[in-house]
Amino acid sequence: MPTFSVTGDVDPFLHVSLKQGEKIYCESDAMVMMEATLDLKGKITGGIGSALMRRFANGESFFQQHIEAVRGEGDCLLSPTLPGAVQVIEVGARQYMLSDGAFVAATSGVELKVRTQSLGNALFAQSGGFFITETAGSGQVAVSGFGSMSQLEVTPGKDVVIDNSHVVCWDSSLHYEISVTTGGSGGGFLSNLVNSQTSGEGMVLRFSGSGKILVCSRNRDAFLSWTQRRAS
């Protein structure tokens, strides 16, 4: 199986080593460098329907890059679009849900499937709208987060509340739901929504069950708004 490793301290690369005949696929424009023994082709993975659903679910490009070691073993370097951390997760015993823009690359034994999610999560969470991406199969997946990345463990009876703009991926066995307030007080949805907007808390995701979550330190939408204000 291809070997994924992260190299570099600031805005790291994903370093991939392939033996002859092995292949990976990655997000469009992720390839930075590859040895001449490797071939790169742009493909529609899983057919047009699957590509369209992944586009809506995870903001991925319609075409993905497929890299194969055709003429012998070789290495390549990949990089995500946004600056920040890269982490490799093992898929098989555990499967994961991916937030918008988190996917970088995967070994050929991993499939990215698209499924629907609840109306509330679809409308308010930044996790793919009505569709969300879930891994299947076995192998390795590389994900990226804007800024630094940290791993959280969720255990039964100890729910975790996270600003949805900071969630990178999470164990698919976890239960999650959207919320507009971190407080424990009552109140209807509309009053909670108003409170969320006036307090600056924004939307949050509440996770329960048992599993792990990867979070990133930066909010890309807030950063984009800040740069636009500075430029105006």
**Predicted confidence band at 90 (pLDDT cuts at 50, 70, 90)?**
very high
Torsion of CA 64, 122, 135, 55, to 10 degrees: -10
pLDDT > 90: what percent of the chain? 55
Retrieve residue 33's tokens.
């460098």
Retrieve residue 107's tokens.
């070994």
Secondary element (H or E) of residue 57: helix 47-58
pLDDT greater than 90 at residue 60: no
**Predicted confidence band at 222 (pLDDT cuts at 50, 70, 90)?**
confident
pLDDT greater than 90 at residue 59: no
Would you call 75 helix, strand, or coil by DSSP? strand
Report how far residue 141's alpha carbon sits from residue 109's, in angstroms, rounded to the nearest whole number: 10
Q: pLDDT per residue over 107-149, tens digit each?
A: 999 998 887 665 445 444 444 444 678 999 999 999 999 999 9
Say how far residue 64 (Cα) sits from the centre of its chain. 15
Retrieve residue 117's tokens.
């999610």
pLDDT of residue 54: 52
List all residues 6 or more positions away from 231 whose beta carbon is below 8 Å from its beta carbon: none
Q: Which of 62, 61, 57, 32 is nearest to 47 (CA)?
A: 62
pLDDT of residue 227: 83
pLDDT of residue 205: 87
Q: pLDDT per residue over 22-50, tens digit each?
A: 999 999 889 999 999 999 998 766 555 55
Angle at 71 between CA 67 and CA 75, to 5 degrees: 50
pLDDT of residue 117: 60
Q: Which amino acid is at 59?
A: G
Residue indicated by tokens 């308010």: 124
Average pLDDT, the chain: 82
List all residues 6 or more positions away from 169 whose beta carbon is below 8 Å from its beta carbon: 89, 96, 97, 98, 99, 102, 143, 213, 214
HEC sequence for 90-125: EECCCCEEECCCCEEEEECCEEEEEEECCHHHHHHC
